[in-house]
A and B are shown apart, each in its own frame.
Chain A
Amino acid sequence: MTITPDLLPWQEADWQHLVRYITGQRIPQAVLFAGNKGIGKSRLAERFAHSLLCSQTDTNGLPCGQCHSCQLVNAQTHPDYIRLNPEEPGKAIKVDQIRHILSVLSLKPQYEANRVVIVEPADQLNISAVNAFLKFLEEPSERTVLLLITDKPSRLPATLMSRCQKVYFSKPDPERVKQWLFDQGIKKDSELLLSVSKGSPLLALDYASNNTLELRRKCFDQWLDIAALRTHPYIVSEQWVKLDPALLLTWITGWVTDLIKCCFHLPAERLINRDLFEDLHKSAQTLELSRLYSVYDLMLTSRNRIDTQLNKQLLFDELLIEWAQLNEK
């Protein structure tokens, strides 16, 4: 049995690109996988890693599944297959972790094929971790390939970017994804799911299986309640921090984006949140565009703050109070 992930239908071209590295025998020392969340970057990186680790890849660059390396990969005990993640989800990757890895990487790989290090998410490397890593990125030890995965490439320092081959994943074709979602058993709302997840298929699937649309509707109603002064921001933010703060921030940013679009009288199909068009449109008529933009700016700033040490409840307090005040006049 093999644990190599299957190729998702929209990844064919990207995969061929990666395979050419192997078949052409010009494997780069570092590859950066950049693209939206939920598009299948990790799966593809894993698949690529398995191919790199295998000592007898076939002509299509696929792992043989038989050799000793492949057996070790399948047993998840391959010594040359290293993953570097934050110690806790959402926290930074610390310099100590890098130093530990570097001491391992200073030795030769244990098997005759390549050694692979997957760093995910690469944007969570803190500044000292990046600096400790730079030297190695430039001159890695032999047969070692680094795969860096990120959905926020703009947050990576230029010194890191410049040392990597970049593979950018574009948004997959919606029709193809809809078909795929249908095959996965998502029979309804696939259009909306895809729109809310910004075209990321895996995220859409995740939303569908967790009933996320329902939660989103509930949060949106609370958001409207704040605007109508039916509830106080702090009461809502207290509940929201217990959910997924990063996700909620994405949602409210989406709502504000759509409000701005509504101010310019864009039709419903151009919105991210088509199902909320009625409410958004009504709300937009009473709002002042310039102040809406300042709330939007605050949301963008908050997106950079959400992964830091800052108190998340206070962060939502601020956003929601500003939102409430926008609606006061």
Chain B
Amino acid sequence: MRLKAEQLEAALNKNLAPVYLIAGDEPLQLGEAADAVRRAAKKAGFENREVLTVDAHFEWASLGESADSFSIFADKKIIDLRLPSGKPGAEGAKAFTEYCARLPEDTLLLITSGKLDSASLKSKWAQALDKVGVIIQIWPPSGQDLINWLQNRMANKGLSGDQEGLRLLAGRVEGNLLAAAQEIEKLFVLHGPKQLSRHDIESAVADSSRYDVFNLCDAMLAGKTGRILKMLQGLKSEGTAEPLVLWALTRDIRLLISIKAARYQGFSKDQALRNAHVWENRKGLVLGAEQRLKLTQLNKALLMSTEADRRIKGASKGSAWDTLTQICLLIGGAEVMAETI
């Protein structure tokens, strides 16, 4: 059974499944969901807990052994399996399917894993887990979802804020929910339960937002200039490798060109997007950028990318980040300084 993270609490109150798989790259929600399962299990009498961590030297046989052995301290136990890579491999897949085919009594298997790709979710072992247990995927909230999440979290503490304040908070903690939770704790300690003003938040909350290159690409396609600059600054100060940024940017530039070319050849919007394998949730962004930009601009962006590549590799003088910024701004629709190349 697939559940959303918000539905977990209610489902746990009803009954306990024999297997839980919680997967995602966002540590706060992942930890909280796993804690909720452990709490509910403890309440139901699962007193003992065995922790198994999957690393390079992990023996998958120990999962079966652990399932078959009885605890000397309690009747019921939790096997807490941690799979940080999100990839159990052939052996792990076999161990999971075998476990699901022959569920041991009075044992609850809790798997916390890194992000699972769609191929793993369709795999045999995931299907087997899905049949007997619960699978929860954790997604980091963004945009309005993040604001709602913050609002809920603050409401739990008796705090509230106006839309403007919440937006400010969201901007400062985006992509870093651990920091978000801490900032809310801090606000609670400072102010107690009350209605917070924008000023309260501004003066207390530091910028701990974190982005990856894909966030940057989305901002670039959406044409949000301020966001582009902030993200580039963030990526740079975090020490993100420039080739990675360039790779992500050129990938999207080429994507836009291929869609433009397909449209030029008479394909419909939907066909062009489908042929280019654009994900459902990115379609709007991609199409918007495609309509905003001319082919000459895209060509220019690609030429600037070659310059950025030379700067990264030291074959040309100057800062690669400057060129990367120019590319983002050109695609983002704010062609400033772009004439320098």
Contacts and interface: CB of A to CB of B under 8 A. Distances in A.
Interface string A286-329: 00000000000000000001001111001101100110110000
Contacts of A231: 261
Contacts of B176: none
Contacts of A317: 302-303, 305-306
B254 interface: yes
Interface string B284-309: 00000000000100010011011001
A315 B306 CA distance: 6
B151 interface: no
Interface in B283-335: 295, 299, 302-303, 305-306, 309-310, 313, 315
A235 B303 CA distance: 15
Interface of A: 231-235, 238, 305, 308-311, 314-315, 317-318, 321-322, 324-325
Nearest to A318: B306
Contacts of B299: 233, 321, 324-325
Contacts of A308: 313, 315
A234 B257 CA distance: 8
B312 to A, nearest CB: 9
B315 A310 contact: yes
In which size bucket is the chain B interface?
Answer: 10 to 19
A321 B302 contact: yes
A222 to B, nearest CB: 14
Interface string B139-179: 00000000000000000000000000000000000000000
B208 interface: no
Contacts, number: 43
B261 A235 contact: yes
A234 B306 contact: no
B127 interface: no
B120 interface: no
Given A234-B254, A305-B310, 13 more contacts: A232-B257, A232-B258, A233-B299, A238-B254, A308-B315, A309-B313, A310-B313, A311-B309, A314-B309, A317-B302, A317-B305, A321-B303, A322-B303
Contacts of A305: 310, 315
Given A305-B315, A321-B303, A325-B299, A235 B258 contact: yes
B97 interface: no
Nearest to A312: B309
Nearest to A315: B306
Contact of B310 (A234, A238, A310, A325): A310
A307 B296 CA distance: 29
B215 interface: no
B303 A318 contact: yes
Nearest to B299: A321
A321 B315 CA distance: 20
B250 interface: yes
B295 to A, nearest CB: 8
Contacts of A309: 313
A311 B254 CA distance: 15
Interface string B251-265: 000100110010000
Nearest to A325: B299
Nearest to B254: A234
Contacts of B254: 234, 238
6 contacts: A234-B254, A234-B257, A314-B305, A315-B306, A317-B303, A321-B303
Contacts of A314: 250, 302, 305-306, 309
